[in-house]
């Protein structure tokens, strides 16, 4: 049953979980010290646990890791679309207070229900984990998070999914639905000029050929987080690689606070050195 509810993960995802857990532990410790109301948000929470692909061992995911931390967050918000995973989230959180679980699209829940309740003037703070299965984060979520000025965000930048589905060698080979999907993720169509050369063949012109590599693409997104979404600090992304040294995704961190950026950068460097290939 576990393998049907819990996602299987590789070594690289274990590294990601450790980074997020260590950051969250420092975060809740510091904000409890200053008596600031702070919440934990997991927008693609899954079932709260994972199954290690190689061994079959069931381990804690980011929601369960967060629940176990002391001192505690004041509230927890877990979101997922899968009804079985929602039931699992309810199960792992049944002995904890102030846990809110949403069976809905996280983009809608974040923008309509959670973010509006986070008030700068009430000295509230939030740590938000955006760890989708692909590119299912709307740019409007990042824009609003940056605008609020009180939300630290970890972002799974799923470069392998992007390359497979939309960032093809020739853009005209990509399905229009995937292009539209990526436009929502990026926030506009500027990625096309950034990643491709050529004008397109709508009027028998040349194909648009991909010229940007993975690093250029993630750095362009990092720049957008600062210049468009309004985050003051965005740590240098850390690549999560598989056993054949292929980048599966990049982990990004964005915040308005220098101390937060320093900690995330430290954790990225620490775990990048020991990551398993």
Per residue in 114-138, pLDDT (tens digit) is 999 999 999 999 999 999 988 999 9
Structure token pair of residue 241: 């690689």
For the packed helices 11-33 and 258-274, what is the interaxial angle rounded to 10 degrees?
Answer: 150
| pLDDT reported for residue 251 | 96
Question: Among the CATH numbers 3.40.640.10, 3.40.50.150, 3.30.420.40, 3.40.50.1780, which is that of 2-163+218-274?
Answer: 3.40.50.150
Residue 277 confidence class, pLDDT cut points 50, 70, 90 = very low
Nearest CA among 223, 204, 207 for reference residue 215: 223
Q: Per residue in 74-96, pLDDT tens? A: 999 999 999 999 999 999 999 99
User: How many residues are given for the chain?
Assistant: 277
Cis peptide before 71 (omega within 30 of 0): yes
Please tell me the distance from the alpha carbon of residue 177 to that of residue 96, in angstroms, as a whole number: 41
Please tell me the distance from the alpha carbon of residue 246 to that of residue 229, in angstroms, as a whole number: 29
Q: Per residue in 39-66, pLDDT tens? A: 999 999 999 999 988 888 899 999 999 9
| pLDDT reported for residue 7 | 84
Structure token pair of residue 197: 């050369």
Structure token pair of residue 109: 């829940």
Q: Per residue in 227-257, pLDDT tens? A: 999 999 999 999 998 888 889 999 999 999 9
Please tell me the distance from the alpha carbon of residue 160 to that of residue 65, in angstroms, as a whole number: 26
Question: In the predicted model, is pLDDT for residue 275 greater than 60?
Answer: no
Query: Which has the minimum average pLDDT: 20-24, 95-99, 152-156, 242-246?
Result: 242-246
Please tell me the distance from the alpha carbon of residue 19 to that of residue 112, in angstroms, as a whole number: 29
Q: With helix as H, strand as E and coil as C, how does the chain read?
A: CHHHHCEEECHHHHHHHHHHHHHHHHHHHHHHHCCCEEEEEECCCCCCEEEECCCCCEEECHHHHHHHCCCCCCEEEEEECCHHHHHHHHHHCCCCCCEEEEECCHHHHHHHHHHHHCCHHHCEEEEEEECCCCCCCCHHHHHHHHHHCCEEEEEEECHHHHHHHCCCCEHHHCCHHHHHHHHHHHCCCHHHHHHEECCCCCCCCCCCEECCCHHHHHHHHHHHHHHCCCCCEECCCEEEECCCCCEEEEEEEEECCHHHHHHHHHHHHHHHHHCCC
Cβ atoms of 256 and 233 within 8 Å: the answer is: yes
Q: Strand pairing partners for 247?
A: 241
Token look-up 């436009």 returns 183
Q: Per residue in 1-17, pLDDT tens? A: 455 689 888 888 899 99
Q: What percent of the chain shows pLDDT beyond 90?
A: 83
Question: In the predicted model, is pLDDT for residue 273 greater than 80?
Answer: no
pTM of the model: 0.94
Cβ atoms of 228 and 187 within 8 Å: the answer is: yes
Question: In the predicted model, is pLDDT for residue 201 greater than 80?
Answer: no
Question: Within a 13 Å sphere around the CA of 111, how many CA atoms are in the beta-carbon half?
Answer: 12
- Domain spans of the chain? 2-163+218-274
């Amino acid at each position: 049953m576990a393998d049907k509810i819990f996602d299987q993960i590789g070594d690289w995802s274990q590294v990601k979980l450790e980074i997020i857990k260590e950051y969250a532990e420092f975060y809740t410790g510091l904000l409890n010290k200053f008596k600031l109301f702070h919440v934990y948000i997991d927008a693609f929470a899954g079932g709260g646990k994972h199954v290690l692909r190689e061994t079959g061992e069931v381990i804690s995911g980011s929601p369960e890791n967060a629940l176990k931390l002391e001192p505690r967050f004041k509230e927890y918000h877990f979101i997922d679309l899968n009804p079985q995973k929602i039931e699992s989230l309810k199960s792992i959180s049944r002995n904890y207070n102030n846990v809110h679980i949403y069976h809905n699209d996280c983009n809608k829940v974040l923008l309509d229900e959670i973010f509006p309740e986070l008030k700068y003037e009430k000295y509230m703070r939030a740590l938000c984990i955006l760890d989708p299965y692909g590119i299912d984060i709307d740019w409007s979520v990042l824009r609003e998070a940056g605008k609020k000025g009180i939300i630290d965000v970890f972002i799974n930048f799923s470069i392998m999914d992007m390359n497979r589905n939309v960032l093809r060698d020739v853009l005209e080979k990509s399905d229009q639905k995937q292009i539209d999907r990526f436009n929502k993720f990026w926030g506009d169509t500027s990625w096309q000029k950034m990643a491709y050369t050529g004008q397109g063949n709508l009027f028998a012109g040349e194909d648009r050929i991909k010229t940007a590599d993975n690093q250029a693409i993630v750095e362009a997104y990092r720049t957008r987080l600062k210049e468009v979404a309004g985050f003051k600090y965005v740590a240098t992304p850390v690549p999560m690689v598989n056993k054949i040294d292929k980048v599966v995704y990049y982990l990004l961190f964005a915040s308005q606070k220098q101390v937060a950026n320093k900690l995330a950068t430290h954790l990225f460097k620490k775990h990048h050195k020991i990551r398993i290939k």
